[in-house]
């Protein structure tokens, strides 16, 4: 941040005292309206992104009241857990000048990839230059996620975009004041991409994507005469419009006499011919120029895509319809047709942005819901979203005032509503609801895959879930990476979301401090690890029956790596015994015992596991429980024994009434593990996962090798046979210590593979 | 001489059963009629009528709403019907087709 800007911050402190609530009142003297259109280089409007650094302010500045870190804790949904560096993202859209300024600011604060908070504030200019202040009138996100009610924004303008900066101060609502620093990113609020495909029976000249605004004599006297494109219309609405570059022709020869289009046929064509088609939310739209809809001449165009899971991706314009038939006696029929085709294309594309017709703005259930509860209809609006012939005075009246734009309310929606309401393929048509959030750009260096080794990832009620992580180098070159990177939870965040419930962050029971041993990983090679996902420091994150989504994000060398979103299903209890066991099993101590492979100290937890074994002997939960109880007995188990009369540990140590004792290994568990891991190896691998099963088999082999190397070798051979039957590659077993009768490779297992 | 009367069911319909009666004869019945909000059109039907005066009655059975319209047809006509919760069924009769986008 430059010094002069810091000085401005000091001034902000003073200005704060000059400003009061009156500045938000209607009587306040603001800047003249409408605003002059500033050269883009000097305008303040656009998209800003927060930098992660804290603002260093002069001593005693009010801005120093609270750091960003404190705020992140406030909205972080994970009490006491600091979000990983770079994990919290924040955007701010300032809309105070440029084309059609709406005097609004809006922002998105992303706390994790499931949870974000959106806010919008209506702004008034203050007496201080480049400074605006306003009430936050819209919030969308978890309740109480953002309590601030007002925002104050100061901008540093510059001819050079990278020097443009913004400081936003959030306050009011009883929340501690929060200050955030943003860097200018774009003069536009969102990106969007269009592709125009034309059916082969539509002449190129009929696929209108631009219009001469003064060609028809019935127009506003003051309108600028220009050749206006659809891209420019949407750029003026605030979007950074690009063409996909995939414009093409759709052959219709094979259709025979049936050359009209149904909605389903258009949807199929979109999937086949749109170069960007994907079943996901994306800022991308397909525009199809066709001859006629099955409905006939009376349908000029349609946003046909309310089919399937991702709505609003495709629109169609019909050249052989009333939009190509100028009224009798029109002063310039050719210009009328051009304008009507252009208008229709912009109109249908507007539906793709989830804009309703002007007279439907307030329409809610049962069709959907307006994004604001008190949204008013605009039946007389001179907007792309109104029907020209529906206004008073009809089409002639409409076009005499039409300036090729959207209404102010529509611009506020497109620019500032939560992006999932607007983005194509996200919220359903006419509905502002949507779970899917935009995902940060995928890393091009590493790929992180989450998986279980269970068919369909369906788990029994009470069954513990082991999540496997696979990190693959996809950079095309050898990379140095820390061996234990998948165990470094400081750099990784795993989020679990049960359908219909808020997301929860999985927190490990412990963080380890390790030497940073680095390994060279070739392109295509992977690192693997496994964690008990069901439970963590939060308790049991996965317990209730239902559908869950799990996703992980990690940072390696400042590169953000996002995993796939893994879907899991937990079944419902089938017996009373399952419900009885659940009461004691879903306890934090039990999670700890399972995570660490057993305990001889947490007696209550061990008892809960024993109950599961007795009451549910054939369940997968019992399999986990038996293994957790058996593993500690494979070795001499050290524990601190305190004499009964010692009041506490410290007194006991001081009075030498505490001593380390050893519980000898118990050979009786051999029979249990033989059954669970060897005889029923496939079932164990299914519920434990391959990585965890292999670890347990290695542990068991090591125990056996102390007295019987042949038995150890046989166990490892069984492990290999079991896992290879489940499509695990042979190289995984290359360093097995006992399988080949050689101990030289002991401990040398390398968790890598060639792709 | 007969002329077509095209009836468009436009805004405000949702899972409605629509019955059209002309001169006490049921000529059209359709269930589950719902407006497509992207066009403002729920459905359409064409009825051939002898030239002259006729009495139409349109019933929405689930909403228990009906309206009667007197028409004098001597050329193709287009009737637009819209349901507005506080007002009931509104109609607009014109000599040219309704347009949708």
What is the average per-residue pLDDT within A598-613?
83
What is the average per-residue pLDDT within A320-335?
96
**Which domains, ranges and CATH numbers included, belong to chain A?**
3-186 (2.40.128), 190-422 (3.40.390), 446-570 (2.60.40.2970), 667-755 (no CATH)
Given a cut of 60, is residue A24 above it in pLDDT? Answer: no
Average pLDDT, chain A: 81
What is A502-519 written as a DSSP string? -EEEE--S--------EE
Contact B40 A357 (CB under 8 A): yes
pLDDT in tens, A395-438: 999 999 999 999 999 999 999 999 989 999 988 887 652 223 33
Burial of A120 (0-12, 13-18, 19+ CB in 10 A): buried
Lowest mean pLDDT among A164-178, A297-311, A427-441: A427-441
Q: Between B36, B37, B100, which is nearest A298 by CB? A: B100
Strands A637-642 vs A658-663: parallel, antiparallel or unpaired: antiparallel
Q: Residue A253: is the preceding peptide bond cis (ω within 30°)?
A: no
Choice between A535 and A77, residue whose per-residue pLDDT is larger: A535
Q: How many CB pairs under 8 A join A and B?
A: 52
Contact B39 A299 (CB under 8 A): yes
**Residue A84: closest CA among A495, A498, A499, A548:** A495
Lowest mean pLDDT among A28-32, A248-252, A658-662: A28-32
Between residues 66 and 95 of chain B, which touch chain A (CB distance below 8 Å)?
none
Contact A322 B99 (CB under 8 A): yes
Q: How many CB atoms lie within 10 A of CB B37?
A: 20
Number of domains in chain B: 1
Strands A284-290 vs A314-318: parallel, antiparallel or unpaired: parallel
Lowest mean pLDDT among A169-178, A352-361, A505-514: A505-514
CA distance B49 to A282: 50
Q: With contact defined as beta carbons under 8 Å apart, do A575 and A462 qualify? A: no
| B96–A contact, CB cutoff 8 A | no
- Residue A91's pLDDT is 94
Interface test with B, best of A287, A298, A299 (most B CBs within 10 A): A298
Residue of B nearest to A325 (CA): B99
What is A208-231 written as a DSSP string? --EEETTSSSSS-TTPPP-EEEHH
Lowest mean pLDDT among A46-60, A330-344, A367-381, B52-66: A46-60
Given a cut of 80, is residue A114 above it in pLDDT? Answer: no
Q: What are phi and psi of B5, to 5 degrees?
A: -110, 115
Contact A429 B37 (CB under 8 A): yes
Lowest mean pLDDT among A103-107, A253-257, A269-273, A743-747: A743-747
- Residue A225's pLDDT is 97
Between residues 412 and 441 of chain A, which touch chain B (CB distance below 8 Å)?
429-430
What is the average per-residue pLDDT within A510-529?
80
Between residues 308 and 337 of chain A, which touch chain B (CB distance below 8 Å)?
322-323
Residue of A nearest to B84 (CA): A363
Residue of A nearest to B8 (CA): A298
With respect to residue B75, please indicate whether it lies within any of the assigned structural domains.
yes
Structure tokens at A483: 């061996």
- Per-residue pLDDT band for A100 (boundaries 50, 70, 90) equals very high
- Per-residue pLDDT band for A309 (boundaries 50, 70, 90) equals confident
Chain A nearest-CA distance from B47, in A, is 17
| A366–B contact, CB cutoff 8 A | yes
Residue B81's domain is classified under what CATH number? 2.60.40.10
What is the average per-residue pLDDT within A237-260?
90
Contact B37 A360 (CB under 8 A): yes
Q: Give the pLDDT means over successive 10-residue stretches in chain B (101 positions).
A: 96 94 96 93 96 97 93 97 92 96 93
Contact B14 A301 (CB under 8 A): no
**Residue A403: closest CA among A34, A103, A104:** A34
Instruction: For residue B46, give its domain range.
Output: 2-94
pLDDT in tens, A641-681: 776 676 676 777 777 777 777 766 677 788 889 999 999 99
Residue of B nearest to A323 (CA): B99
**Residue A125: closest CA among A94, A149, A147, A146:** A94
What is the average per-residue pLDDT within A296-324?
94
With respect to residue B99, please indicate whether it lies within any of the assigned structural domains.
no
Choice between A95 and A8, residue whose per-residue pLDDT is larger: A95
Q: With contact defined as beta carbons under 8 Å apart, do A162 and A184 qualify? A: yes
Contact B101 A356 (CB under 8 A): no
What is the average per-residue pLDDT within A318-345?
97
- Residue A88's pLDDT is 67
With respect to residue B101, please indicate whether it lies within any of the assigned structural domains.
no
Distances (CA, A) of B42 to A261, A275, A596, B14: 18, 32, 62, 9
| Contacts A302 to B, Cβ<8 Å | 38-39, 100-101
pLDDT in tens, A187-239: 999 999 999 999 999 999 999 999 999 999 999 999 999 999 999 999 999 99
- Residue A730's pLDDT is 87
CA distance A528 to A243: 41
Q: Between A300, A323, A363, which is nearest B37 by CB? A: A363
With respect to residue B61, please indicate whether it lies within any of the assigned structural domains.
yes
What is the average per-residue pLDDT within A19-38?
37
Percent of chain A having pLDDT more than 70?
Answer: 80
Choice between A81 and A615, residue whose per-residue pLDDT is larger: A615
Burial A682-721 (b: 16+ CB within 10 A, else e): eebbbbbbbbbbbebbbbbbbbbbeeeeebbbbbbbbbbe
With respect to residue B7, please indicate whether it lies within any of the assigned structural domains.
yes
CA distance A674 to B28: 75
CA distance A570 to A547: 6
Contact A300 B35 (CB under 8 A): no
- Per-residue pLDDT band for A609 (boundaries 50, 70, 90) equals very high
Given a cut of 60, is residue A452 above it in pLDDT? Answer: yes
CA distance B60 to B9: 11
pLDDT in tens, A476-514: 899 988 888 888 776 787 888 887 776 677 888 776 666
Q: Between B37, B44, B97, which is nearest A430 by CB? A: B37
- Residue A76's pLDDT is 32
| B48–A contact, CB cutoff 8 A | no
With respect to residue B100, please indicate whether it lies within any of the assigned structural domains.
no
Contact A303 B40 (CB under 8 A): no
| Contacts B15 to A, Cβ<8 Å | 366
CA distance A537 to A81: 11
């Amino acid at each position: 941040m430059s010094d002069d800007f810091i000085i401005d911050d000091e001034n902000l402190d003073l200005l704060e005292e000059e400003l009061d609530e009156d500045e938000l009142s209607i009587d306040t003297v603001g800047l003249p309206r409408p605003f002059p259109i500033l050269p883009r280089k000097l305008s303040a409007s656009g998209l800003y992104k927060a930098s992660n650094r804290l603002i260093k302010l002069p001593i005693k500045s009010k801005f120093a009241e609270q750091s960003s870190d404190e705020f992140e804790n406030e909205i972080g949904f994970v009490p006491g857990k600091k979000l990983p560096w770079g994990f919290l993202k924040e955007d701010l859209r300032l809309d105070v000048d440029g084309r059609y300024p709406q005097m609004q600011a809006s922002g998105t604060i992303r706390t994790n990839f499931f949870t974000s908070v959106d806010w919008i504030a209506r702004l008034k200019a203050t007496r201080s230059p480049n400074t605006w202040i306003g009430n936050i009138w819209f919030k969308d996100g978890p309740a109480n996620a953002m309590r601030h009610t007002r925002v104050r924004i100061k901008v540093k303008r510059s001819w050079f975009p990278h020097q443009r900066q913004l400081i936003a101060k959030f306050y009011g609502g009883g929340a501690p004041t929060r200050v955030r620093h943003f860097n200018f990113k774009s003069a536009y609020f969102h990106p969007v991409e269009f592709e125009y495909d034309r059916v082969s029976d539509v002449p190129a000249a009929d696929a209108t994507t631009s219009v001469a605004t003064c060609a028809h004599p019935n127009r506003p006297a003051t309108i600028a005469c220009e050749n206006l494109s659809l891209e420019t219309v949407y750029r003026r609405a605030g979007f950074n419009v690009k063409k996909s570059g995939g414009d093409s022709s759709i052959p219709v020869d094979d259709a025979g006499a049936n050359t009209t289009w149904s909605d389903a046929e258009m949807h199929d064509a979109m999937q086949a011919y749109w170069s960007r088609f994907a079943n996901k939310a994306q800022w991308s739209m397909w525009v199809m120029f066709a001859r006629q809809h099955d409905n006939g001449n009376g349908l000029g165009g349609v946003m046909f895509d309310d089919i399937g899971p991702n709505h609003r991706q495709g629109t169609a314009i019909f050249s052989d319809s009333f939009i190509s038939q100028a009224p009798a006696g029109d002063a310039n029929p050719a210009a009328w047709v051009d304008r009507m085709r252009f208008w229709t294309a912009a109109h249908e594309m507007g539906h793709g942005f989830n804009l309703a017709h002007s007279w439907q703005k307030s329409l809610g259930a049962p069709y959907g819901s307006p994004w604001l509860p008190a949204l008013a209809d605009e039946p007389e609006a001179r907007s792309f979203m109104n029907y020209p012939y529906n206004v008073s005075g009809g089409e002639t009246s409409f076009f005499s005032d039409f300036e090729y734009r959207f209404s102010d309310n529509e611009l506020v929606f497109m620019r500032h509503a939560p992006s999932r309401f607007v983005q194509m393929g996200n919220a359903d048509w006419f509905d502002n609801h949507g779970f899917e959030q935009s995902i940060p750009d995928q890393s091009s260096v590493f790929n992180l895959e989450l998986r279980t080794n269970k068919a369909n990832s369906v788990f029994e009620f009470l069954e513990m879930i082991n999540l496997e992580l696979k990190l693959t180098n996809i950079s095309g070159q050898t990379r140095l990476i820390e061996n234990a990177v998948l165990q470094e939870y400081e750099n990784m965040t795993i989020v679990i979301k049960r359908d219909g419930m808020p997301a929860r962050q999985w927190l490990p029971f412990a963080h380890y401090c390790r030497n940073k041993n680095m390994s060279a990983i070739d392109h295509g090679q992977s690192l693997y690890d496994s964690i008990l996902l069901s439970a963590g420091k939060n308790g049991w994150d996965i317990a209730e029956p239902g559908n869950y989504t799990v996703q992980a994000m990690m940072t390696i060398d400042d590169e953000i790596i996002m995993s796939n979103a893994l879907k899991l299903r937990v079944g419902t209890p089938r017996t009373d015994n399952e419900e009885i066991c659940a009461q004691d099993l879903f306890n934090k101590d039990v999670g700890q015992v399972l995570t660490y492979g057993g305990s001889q100290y947490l007696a209550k937890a061990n008892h809960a596991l024993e109950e599961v074994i007795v009451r549910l002997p054939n369940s997968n939960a019992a399999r986990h429980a038996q293994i957790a109880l058996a593993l500690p007995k494979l070795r001499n188990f050290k524990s601190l024994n305190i004499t009964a009369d010692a009041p506490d540990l410290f007194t006991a140590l001081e009075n030498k009434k505490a001593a380390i004792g050893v519980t000898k290994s118990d050979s009786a568990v051999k029979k249990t593990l033989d059954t669970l891991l060897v005889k029923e190896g496939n079932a164990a691998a299914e519920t434990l996962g391959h990585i965890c099963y292999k670890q347990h088999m290695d542990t068991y082999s090591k125990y056996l090798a102390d007295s019987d190397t042949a038995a150890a070798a046989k166990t490892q051979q069984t492990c290999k046979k079991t896992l290879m039957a489940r499509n695990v590659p042979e190289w995984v077993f290359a360093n097995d210590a006992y399988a080949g009768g050689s101990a030289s490779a002991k401990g040398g297992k390398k968790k890598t593979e060639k792709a | 001489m007969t002329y077509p009367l095209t009836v468009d069911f436009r805004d405000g319909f949702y899972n409605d059963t629509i019955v059209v009666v002309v001169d006490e004869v049921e000529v059209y019945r359709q269930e589950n009629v719902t407006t497509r909000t992207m066009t403002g059109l729920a459905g359409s039907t064409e009825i051939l009528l002898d030239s002259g005066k006729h009495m139409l009655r349109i019933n929405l059975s689930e909403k228990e709403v009906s309206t009667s319209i007197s028409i004098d047809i001597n050329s193709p006509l287009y009737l637009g019907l819209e349901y507005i919760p506080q007002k009931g069924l509104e109609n607009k009769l014109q000599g040219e087709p309704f347009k949708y986008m």
